[in-house]
Structure 1
Amino acid sequence: MTALRAYLDWLEKREGRRFGDHDALWAWSVEDLDRFWLSIAEYYDVAFSARWSEVRSAEPMPRTRWFPGARLNWAEHALRRGADGDPALLCVSEGGGADPRVLTYAELRRSVAAAAAWLRREGVRPGDRVGAYLPNTEHAVIACLAAAAVGAVWSCCTPDFGADGTIGRLAQLEPTVLVAADGYHWNGREIDRREVVERLRAALPTLRRFVAVPYLGHPVPAGATPWEELLATDAPPEFAPVEFSHPLWVLFTSGTTGLPKGLVHGHGGITLEGLKWAGLYCGLRPGERMFTYTSTGWALWNMQLGALSHGATIVLYEGSPAGVVWEIAERTRADVMMLGAAVITASVPPPRPLRRLRHLLVSGSALPREGYRWVWEHVGADVRIDSTSGGTDVSGAFVGSNDDSPVRPGRIGGRLAGVDCAAWDEDGVPVVDDVGDLVVLQPMPSMPVHLWNDPDFTRYTESYFETWPGVWRHGDWVTFHSDGGVTIHGRSDSTLNRQGVRLGTGDFYDVLEALPEIAETLVIGVEQPDDGYWLGLFVVPAPGHTLDDALKRTIVATLRTRLTARHVPDEIVEAPGVPHTLTGKRLEVPVKKLLRGTPLERAANPASVDDPAVLRWYERFAAERRG
């Protein structure tokens, strides 16, 4: 019996009605949203230390509060099910040998308890921030769980981010503790990040302690606490009971201007979403294994932690995916695998079909039709392919597959239970079998409780609710087909989304426009057919300079070292200027529309542009590029 069917059988007895399939579940879940989420809490026996006054407050999004008055701790739920001797983490590093490092549930519980006790001894209290700069290793999992156990707020940046991108995120949080590694592995090389870590320490004046993880074996710097010290003293497990919406972690996504947005997710919402998604949709049970290819800077890293709440094992891989993802899945005997579509399309076929893999989740973007056939031919004819789409914004998914939906190559299976989503046209009218804006009509527990440094919900409202008050506009173009399937067409705003990792355009401008050779830049990401993604950088050279090969090399090196290698442009083009609105904002979305083939008269109003001639240059460039 599948995990979904087991829940539906239980639900039929609870509700006294028939739930024949997932379609019936979804319809009921959005008709009686409160009772659905209450059923998830009851089915998975969520341990509330104090009872709620109501399931959901009456305020509209984004001020809705779930289970007000209830108290719990996410880390306690993550660690309560696995048997002591079962593996909790299997840790694989690039070039680290054939055998993974194994942490059993007993060892993970002991490490988390010790690290949490160290944090408490150092004065970390509920609401304090613990920042991290760590690769995808056991150190990140232990530190995240320990911070949550204390009630502190966790936020982690991947070490392939440079200093500026990391400082722009963590400095907003004013952390009291920083946990950072000396480097990471990539494509057969050890990438030393000690200089970035020192810049980060200097840019965070609120730090009281710095914990050094000597992952590459470098000496621990002066004034730092070695990682081993956190784990040296045994302590009884202790989980601070916090309010349902108490901040758990901050994930960063970026708008087109300003600092990256800090999305604050709560203990309770992430607990419920993780139980639902990993339980009903991944179908994980004790003894099963989930391998997610991700970095700590991607929401998939946080989502995979939901596997622990079901007593399953997480496979962590640190390194480049080139040529190894299927081998790691086979070597670690993964039952469920999650990775970006771009990783699949760039993969080397495994030497033979995987023996144990039953479920492949694809995120970041939808897997194209050819990708489905490739997986079934090379990975396994019986593997269930599950294209899913959600976001950092909700630390979860809106749409995906389920055990009752047919697998249609190139399509997503359907809406997920508890997610009242639809496609709306520009007038706010629901559309089916046509492209519209992805909207969510009722709140989800895992929506951000607020944005960081946004006490009056101004930025939150502008980001998601400005177009239609009280309705979440996600920023994706989507088609909900009449047969139940879903197609995601890409971002409708200007956020850059390569391989599922989002980056704001402002990050590019901050880094590149500090170069004396550059006057201004415009960066545009455009989704291409068959899961392609073109990232173009338009450069206006400073007076006396030209965009020659030397400057292009400088741009690439600067982005790799100060921002992220994942977002090095596919094409760097010299432009006569950058078009702006009359108030000075760069016209990123209109230029993106031109590059996607939208006529100029529909993409922008030249009368509202500071230099219409420059905009027409982009129109000509887009036409020539499309041929």
Structure 2
Amino acid sequence: MSNKKLWEGDNQFKTNSHLYCYQKWLEETYNLKFESYQSIWKWSVDHIDLFWESIWKYFKIISHSPYKNVLIDNGMPNCSWFEGATLNYSEHIFRHKDDNKIAVYFKNESGKYSEITWKELKNKVASMANYLKSLGVTKGDRVVAFLPNIPEATISFLAVNSLGAVWSSTSPDFGTESVVDRFAQIEPKVLIAVDGYHYNGKPYDKSKIVKDIVKALPSLKMVIIQPYLNPNVLDNFSDDFVNINSVFDVSENELTFEAVDFNHPIWVLYSSGTTGIPKAIVHSHGGILLEHYKYMAFHNDVHPDERYFWFSTTGWMMWNFVQSALLMGASIVLYDGSPTYPNFDSLWAISDKIDIHHFGTSAPYLVASMKKGVDAKSNFDLSSIRSISSTGAPLPYEAFEYVYNNIKKDVWLCSMAGGTDVCTAFVGGTPFYSVHAGEIQCRALGVALYAYDDKAKPVYDELGEMVIVKPMPSMPIYFWNDKDNKRYKSSYFEHYSGIWRHGDFIKINSKTNGLIIYGRSDATLNRHGIRIGTSEIYRAVNKIEEVEDSLIVNLELDEGKHYMPLFVKMKNNLTLTEDIKGKIIFQLKREYTPRHVPDEILEVNDIPYTISGKKMEAPIKKILLKMPLERSINFDSMRNPESVDYFIEFAKSIKQWIKT
């Protein structure tokens, strides 16, 4: 069933792609000939240093000093790339600018719409950079942002980056503790913050939270305020706070770029922090530059003058990823607000208004649209869209079919998966392959990814642990304040020495070379020695019309016993009945095995999610195993913390033979 072919690009689609041009360039430059995408991928991982050097040359990287070695590999994570080279990410953003063309499109749920030309973008970035310089911000200093997905966030990032300073951001839906847990680790010099935002038609005033954040960050030298709810918000702050609008100068400003070492920090991203202090993940200037050029060109096929959209907040790594579309000479489309306000199909309306070419969203959004019966193709034109990308969770088989049946028949569906850890995707799309239902098309170039069995051997056509056996330039250079890389090593290299274990279960199809991700291996459903991916359960439950959402965990108990409850959120005002339970059980047995059937099916008001939209299986499992609450979950990292109340109470009712 997973081999059902849904789409294939025609010859023109393939020969117009960046990947096709790169393939021809490799033949001309290195006398390398490839018959398929798989053969290019195999070469890229067998000759990892030559591949990344080819990326450097193909994209004509601007370096202000030469590199001595492409790669010094002392075993992951002790690797160093392009030592000696100095460059700047922002410089590459602006090198192909066309003053009068649009660089940034912006819309929010309140109806505000604006366009920013490349000339305006450059002037505003220069103004912000000059102001930050006047505050003493220099190479290596940290500037942090508490901002929604608005143009000022992009402008501020590019300005910070042009100085060689280090960027970090969270979205304003984060609570005080969650923001401080992140920013306090890196001791920022400047905070750029918003006074509030709108979501689902409601205003959320964040003025008090901003004041609390400032009190908790003694390293701050200046706070820049973005008035978003209230134009007179500065009246509520001290005289030391500056209105961001006073920073921007409409006159022509010179924009300069500080060249930094290839391995100099570009930004700090954070793990979800659902069970403790978030890991402060640091990426390199050069590693991100090369990786984003590679992915945007060869796996998203973004071209100059196209418009690139991804629904995201500044607290998700996809916001950072979106900025890289500017490297390709494309425009970025920013949206702030709820994706389902005022209507569930509002994002598709934006696509029609702006003529988006590349539409990015999360797998949960597509699944929710499918469950809601949204028929975008009947209500919108969508003719400009050539690719729809999805990430954030495995995209089930049925959601693939839904995209082609209800959104657009002739579209390249790029399901992808990676993470904050590398700020890119390990697996994703290729214009050379067909799209098969339920499968991610390929392993990305330069990513030596395999599925390992229990004996640490590569396997195909069966469930395995996802590993990366060779380094990538966008792997973290370190975690902030992580002595001897202790936390870094324990996060990825504890299970297999020198091999990155990502924590996902995957299956690689030996015939199509596609992949299926079955969910987090640290939330594995291990029933009597049989490993079950959580995505299999969700896929079956998604077919039950009355169920809106679900969460599954498996508790390993004493004496080899198991307890696997399934929690379901019902649609609208429906109630879980024995009949609906029977439907769920029948669906699981029919599609999988009796081992997939839960021990109990329970109704909940809501399913717990992180702010970035991930189901919280592992924290809920810890709560049900009666681990101390403070070690099980961080409420401030949640989108809906009240949803956990049920599980706390439910844990008290579970039989006492569960380990404590």
**If the TM-score is normalised by the length of the shorter chain, which range does it land in?**
0.7 to 0.9
Equivalent residues in 2 for 1:504-523, closer than 5 Å: none
CA contact (8 A) 2:523 2:553 kept: no
Match of 1:329 among 351, 357, 361: 351
Equivalent residues in 2 for 1:102-251, closer than 5 Å: 102-218=115-231, 219-220=233-234, 221-222=237-238, 223-232=240-249, 234-251=252-269
Q: Distance in 1 between matches of 2:422 and 2:611?
A: 23
CA contact (8 A) 1:366 1:412 kept: no
Q: Tell me how large the CA RMSD over aligned residues is.
A: 2.9
Q: Distance in 1 between matches of 2:160 and 2:509?
A: 43
Q: Distance in 1 between matches of 2:550 and 2:197?
A: 26
CA-CA distance at 1:586 after TM superposition: 6.1
Aligned residue for 1:416?
A: 444
Aligned residue for 1:499?
A: none
Q: Distance in 2 between matches of 1:138 and 1:574?
A: 39
Q: Distance in 2 between matches of 1:282 and 1:271?
A: 15
State the TM-score, normalized to the length of structure 2. Answer: 0.77
1:273 alignment partner, SS class: helix
Match of 1:95 among 107, 110, 130: 110
Q: Distance in 1 between matches of 2:110 and 2:304?
A: 29
Does 157-166 or 215-224 show the bigger shift? 215-224
Aligned residue for 1:591?
A: none
1:285 and 2:298 are equivalent in the alignment: no
1:467 alignment partner, SS class: coil
Q: In 2 relative to 1, CA 48–372 (structure 1 residues): closer, same or farther, beyond 3 Å?
A: same
CA-CA distance at 1:615 after TM superposition: 5.5
| 1:426-475 superposed Cα distances (whole Å, 9 cap, x missing partner) | 32111111111110000000001111111411111011001111100001
Match of 2:382 among 354, 359, 376: 354
Structure 2: which amino acid aligns with 1:307? A
Q: Distance in 2 between matches of 1:180 and 1:94?
A: 20
Q: Distance in 2 between matches of 1:8 and 1:47?
A: 22
Aligned residue for 2:325?
A: 307
Match of 1:60 among 43, 60, 75: 75
Aligned residue for 1:486?
A: 515
1:83 alignment partner, SS class: coil
CA-CA distance at 1:377 after TM superposition: 2.1
CA-CA distance at 1:170 after TM superposition: 0.8
Q: In 2 relative to 1, CA 195–536 (structure 1 residues): closer, same or farther, beyond 3 Å?
A: farther
CA-CA distance at 1:373 after TM superposition: 2.0
CA contact (8 A) 1:537 1:569 kept: no
CA-CA distance at 1:369 after TM superposition: 1.9
Match of 2:364 among 335, 342, 360: 342
CA-CA distance at 1:171 after TM superposition: 1.0
CA contact (8 A) 2:397 2:438 kept: yes
Aligned residue for 2:581?
A: none
Structure 2: which amino acid aligns with 1:187? N
Q: Distance in 2 between matches of 1:383 and 1:19?
A: 26
Structure 1: which amino acid aligns with 2:339? P
Structure 2: which amino acid aligns with 1:91? F
1:32 and 2:47 are equivalent in the alignment: yes
Q: Distance in 2 between matches of 1:191 and 1:586?
A: 28
Structure 1: which amino acid aligns with 2:199? W
CA-CA distance at 1:345 after TM superposition: 2.0
CA contact (8 A) 2:551 2:615 kept: no
CA-CA distance at 1:82 after TM superposition: 2.8
CA contact (8 A) 1:128 1:176 kept: yes
How many residue pairs match? The answer is 542
CA-CA distance at 1:333 after TM superposition: 0.4
1:19 and 2:26 are equivalent in the alignment: no
Q: Distance in 2 between matches of 1:367 and 1:468?
A: 28
2:426 alignment partner, SS class: strand
CA-CA distance at 1:6 after TM superposition: 1.0
2:466 alignment partner, SS class: strand
Q: In 2 relative to 1, CA 157–386 (structure 1 residues): closer, same or farther, beyond 3 Å?
A: same
Match of 1:388 among 400, 404, 416: 416
1:534 and 2:551 are equivalent in the alignment: yes
Aligned residue for 2:597?
A: none
CA-CA distance at 1:587 after TM superposition: 12
Q: Distance in 2 between matches of 1:575 and 1:149?
A: 43
Q: Distance in 2 between matches of 1:576 and 1:77?
A: 47
Q: In 2 relative to 1, CA 573–248 (structure 1 residues): closer, same or farther, beyond 3 Å?
A: closer
Q: Distance in 1 between matches of 2:279 and 2:184?
A: 12
Q: In 2 relative to 1, CA 141–564 (structure 1 residues): closer, same or farther, beyond 3 Å?
A: same
CA-CA distance at 1:49 after TM superposition: 0.6
Q: Distance in 1 between matches of 2:70 and 2:620?
A: 53
Aligned residue for 2:500?
A: 472
Q: Distance in 1 between matches of 2:386 and 2:141?
A: 41
Q: In 2 relative to 1, CA 574–443 (structure 1 residues): closer, same or farther, beyond 3 Å?
A: closer
CA contact (8 A) 1:394 1:447 kept: yes
CA contact (8 A) 1:578 1:614 kept: no
Aligned residue for 2:93?
A: 78
| 1:297-348 superposed Cα distances (whole Å, 9 cap, x missing partner) | 1111111111000110000000000121111112110111111011112233
CA contact (8 A) 1:352 1:378 kept: no
Aligned residue for 1:550?
A: none
Match of 2:288 among 266, 270, 295: 270
Q: Distance in 2 between matches of 1:573 and 1:181?
A: 32
CA-CA distance at 1:255 after TM superposition: 6.1
CA contact (8 A) 1:73 1:148 kept: yes
Q: In 2 relative to 1, CA 237–569 (structure 1 residues): closer, same or farther, beyond 3 Å?
A: closer
Q: Distance in 1 between matches of 2:365 and 2:506?
A: 22
Match of 1:453 among 469, 481, 484: 481
Q: Distance in 1 between matches of 2:182 and 2:74?
A: 30
Structure 2: which amino acid aligns with 1:312? A
1:67 alignment partner, SS class: strand
Structure 2: which amino acid aligns with 1:206? S
Q: Distance in 2 between matches of 1:359 and 1:31?
A: 30
Q: In 2 relative to 1, CA 244–529 (structure 1 residues): closer, same or farther, beyond 3 Å?
A: same
1:265 alignment partner, SS class: strand
Q: Distance in 2 between matches of 1:399 and 1:139?
A: 31
Structure 2: which amino acid aligns with 1:151? G
1:66 alignment partner, SS class: strand
CA-CA distance at 1:235 after TM superposition: 3.0
Equivalent residues in 2 for 1:361-440, closer than 5 Å: 361-440=389-468
Q: In 2 relative to 1, CA 569–103 (structure 1 residues): closer, same or farther, beyond 3 Å?
A: same
Q: Distance in 2 between matches of 1:352 and 1:58?
A: 51
CA contact (8 A) 1:132 1:179 kept: yes
Q: Which runs of 5+ in 1 are unaligned?
A: 496-524, 539-554, 589-611, 619-627
Q: In 2 relative to 1, CA 574–454 (structure 1 residues): closer, same or farther, beyond 3 Å?
A: closer
CA-CA distance at 1:20 after TM superposition: 2.4
1:6 and 2:21 are equivalent in the alignment: yes
Q: In 2 relative to 1, CA 575–231 (structure 1 residues): closer, same or farther, beyond 3 Å?
A: closer
Q: Distance in 1 between matches of 2:384 and 2:613?
A: 31
State the TM-score, normalized to the length of structure 1. Answer: 0.81
1:616 alignment partner, SS class: coil
Match of 1:295 among 313, 318, 342: 313
2:447 alignment partner, SS class: coil
Structure 1: which amino acid aligns with 2:425? A
Aligned residue for 1:598?
A: none
1:456 alignment partner, SS class: helix
CA contact (8 A) 1:537 1:573 kept: no
